[in-house]
Each structure stands twice: as C-alpha cells, then as structure tokens.
Structure 1
Amino acid sequence: MHDVEAQIEAIEKAALIRPMPELGTVEVRGADRLSWLAGMVTQHVAELKPGEGRYALHVTKTGRLVAELWVAVLEDRVLLGLDHERRDEIVGVMDRFLIMEDAELTVPSEPHGWWLAHGPAAEAVVAA
C-alpha cells in the first residue's frame, strides 16, 4: 500500500502494519529496568506491563533530543527499538546514567524485526 490516502484511511478505520527495518534493538535487563528507563525517557513507562509498549524520546536535561525509541516490555526485559545506525552511540550515552540501578543495557546477538501497528483494528490484526 503506497497510496497516502489509503494509508490514512487504514490508520483511521482499520489497521496499518508497517515494517521498521531502520530500527536496531537494545535490551534492558535487571530489577530496576523500568524505573531507570522512566527517568531517561519522556513517556511514563514505569507502569507498563509485559506485552505493552510506548513510543518515547530520550532527551538531555536541557531538553535536547538524543534519540527516539520504541519501548516494548517483556516479562524479563525491556526491548528498545532505536536507529540502528546510532545504536552503539545511544547505548553509550544511556549507559553513563546507570550508576546504582540494577539494570544493564545489551545489544542482543540475534537481530529483531520491528513492525509497527496503527489504527483501531491494529490490536486484533496483530493478535490474529
């Protein structure tokens, strides 16, 4: 589906599923993973449950944009989808803020494929 009007209609009335090949993955593990991440991004992620996710921004204390992220919470870890070309740089920036927290950033050995689902029927389409 390349027609912009059809994509807008899908987002408004049904579902638009879109691959995101530009995203690389970072895993956040440890007991403090969500509370630490909540202090690093612009969205409320601390209350997310396994299977939930959010779009968020990582900004400096002065509000300068560092990275945009897709946050996906799993049972034992959090996956961050971010620009794969800047992944190592972003991990380095975020890792500097891990001081006393029980959290660890790692790049998974196996690549992940990211797909975004938008629209009122997105949840049902993904579940099918």
Structure 2
Amino acid sequence: MSHAILLPERGVVEISGPDAISFLHNLVTNDIQSLAAGEARFAALLTPQGKILCDFLVFRRETTEGPLLLLDCPRSLAPELLQRLNRYRLRANATVADKSDAYESLAYIEEQTPQQENLLTLARDPRSPLMGWRAIAQRGTVDAPGDHASYDEHRISAGVPDGAVDFPYGDAYPHETNMDRLSGLDFKKGCYVGQEVVSRMQHRTVVRKRITPFRFDGETPPAAGSEVIAGEIKIGVTGSHWGKEGLALIRTDRLEDALAAGQKAQAAGVPLEFSVAKS
C-alpha cells in the first residue's frame, strides 16, 4: 500500500512550449537537456553572484503537445520564481505559469515503486536514497494519509535541508547547502547564471560553511534560528530538527578548531554533537 504524504508548503511552476527544455537548461545548475520522463533533477536558479534564489525538483512530462517541465518549488517562492523566469525568457518560445493552485506535491517514503493513479509525474527523489519518491498530482485527486513528520525524519536523517528553515534564500551558495553532495550541480554542462562562482567554489580546497547534521540529548531541541556557540565564538545557526537530530548552517573550520581546543558546541544552552564530513 502506497502512503502519499502531502507537502502543502510546496508549489509548482510549469514551463511549456518548444523551447521549454533549452530555456531552463541554460539558466539552472543541473542538466535539463538529458532529463527523461520518469526522472527528476534537483537544481537551483542562482543570482549572478552565485547565491541560491530558489531550489526545486524538475520533472519532465510528455503531452500530446510535446514535453513540458514541472518545477516543484517552495510555494512561497513560486510567484517570484515565475517573475524571474519570465525576465530571462526574452525570445525563447516558452510559457511559464504558476500552477500551485491546480497541482500539489507528494512524497512517498518507501523503497518500492508507489502504486497510485492520478499522478501527473512520479520519480525517485534524486537527492538521497532515503528520500524515496516524489510526485505531482492534480490538487485533491490523491488520498494522502501519510504523516509529514515521517518525511521530515527522513529528510533530516539524509542531511537534506529545507530552504525555508535551514538556509536563507538569496544569501547562501549551493556548496554551503550541500547541493554538490545532493546531485544538484552538474559541472560538465555549459554556462548558466552564477556558474563561474559555483565552479570556483568547487575547486577550492575546503568549503568553510556547510549544512551540517547534529544530535542533542536534551528534552527540548534548540529552536530554529538559534546561534551555535563554541566557547565564546559563534560558529553558525540551527535549522530544522526531528527527534534528537537536526541541521545547522555552520562554519566547519571554526567548529574543528573549537573541538581541537576541547570546546563543546551548544545552542540555546543545549549541547550539540556535530558530524562533520570533509569538504
């Protein structure tokens, strides 16, 4: 039995027309040209300075009028994403529309392929095997009895940030949000907005700021947005949490220096234990 989880915080932007695929491919961080129906790509639209304006999952859907793209994005950012894509459209033969009122996003946290009717798209979540499947359907056509908390549990365990909570849109680089580790960056495709900055960061020895998992033992977790302190030095800020696990955007170099000096990290008085992967 497939248990869909409704993601009401997500919106959908549709791109259609003969140039839809090439138009988006030339703008975002991942390869859209090779995207096939039944697949999803994680990607982002960046500022020219290389910071994330909006991240999303991209699905390709085949129709009688040709392929179109569905972008599963934060619903609060859908109107702004629509405006920005239209600014770049110029002479491209493509139409961009906000379909958030007509479509809804669904997650399936399970290994087997969900057996559901009425889905417009269905694909493996490309960010992590722990994330299961993602789908888009006409609003109200799919029963979604699944628990959103189970989605957050898998997301946080997989180290997948939620941009609404875990990092600031417009002020975070893709590497800082682990897009390089979550299949969100293609370093072989051609130019796109912000590509030069992303390429420079890829070739650095160390990325100093990262979304980093933590564990805590207290009864009450630190609230999202709490300063993470090691000794007297601020090293980051907490984001989302579930159970005894959470994510924080931290300066990993400062954390490593603090640990080497025997100092412990804490936020809002709660001791935190970080798991830091090498960049």
Normalised by the shorter chain, which TM-score bucket?
0.7 to 0.9
- 8 Å contact kept, 1:18–1:117: yes
Residue number among 24, 32, 43 corresponding to 1:45 in the alignment: 32
Matches within 5 A, 1:1-128: 18-75=5-62, 76-108=67-99, 110-117=101-108, 121=111, 124-127=112-115
Q: Give 3-state SS (helix, strand or coil) of 1:79's partner.
A: strand
**1:61 Cα deviation (Å)?**
2.1
The one-letter amino acid paired with 2:114 is: V
Q: Which structure would you say has the larger RCO, counting Cα contacts within 8 Å and 6 or more residues apart?
A: 1
Structure 1: how far apart are the matches of 2:42 and 2:83?
A: 20
CA distance in 1, matches of 2:4, 2:48: 34
Q: Secondary structure at the match of 1:28?
A: strand
Query: So what's the TM-score if we normalise by structure 1?
Result: 0.74
How many residues end up aligned between the 2 structures? Answer: 111
Aligned-partner Cα distance in 2 for 1:86–1:116: 19
Q: CA deviation at 1:53?
A: 1.2
Structure number, greater radius of gyration: 2
- In structure 1, list runs of 5 or more residues that go unmatched: 1-15
User: Alpha-carbon deviation of 1:43?
Assistant: 0.9
Query: Is the partner of 1:61 in helix, strand or coil?
Result: coil
Deviations 1:67-94 (A, max 9, x none): 0111111013111111111211111011
Tell me how far apart the structure 2 counterparts of residues 45 and 116 of structure 1 sit (CA, whole Å).
Answer: 22
Q: Secondary structure at the match of 2:44?
A: strand
Q: Report what 1:8 is aligned to.
A: none
Q: What SS is found at the alignment partner of 1:44? A: coil
State the Cα distance separating 1:21 from its structure 2 match: 1.6
Q: CA deviation at 1:51?
A: 2.2
Letter in 1 for 2:73: L
Normalized per residue, which structure has more helix? Answer: 1
| Structure 1 contact 24–111 (Cα < 8 Å) conserved | no
CA distance in 1, matches of 2:55, 2:108: 17
**AA partner of residue 21 (structure 2):** L
What's the % identity of the aligned pairs?
A: 24
Deviations 1:75-123 (A, max 9, x none): 131111111112111110111000121111012385222123467x2xx
Query: How far did 1:125 drift?
Result: 2.6
Q: Name the SS of the counterpart of 2:88 in structure 1.
A: coil
Unaligned runs of 5+ in 2: 117-279
SS where residue 85 of structure 1 aligns?
Answer: helix
**Cα RMSD over matched residues?**
2.3
SS of the residue 2:11 aligns to: strand
Q: CA deviation at 1:127?
A: 4.6
For 1:78, the aligned partner's letter is: L
Name the amino acid aligned to 1:25: V
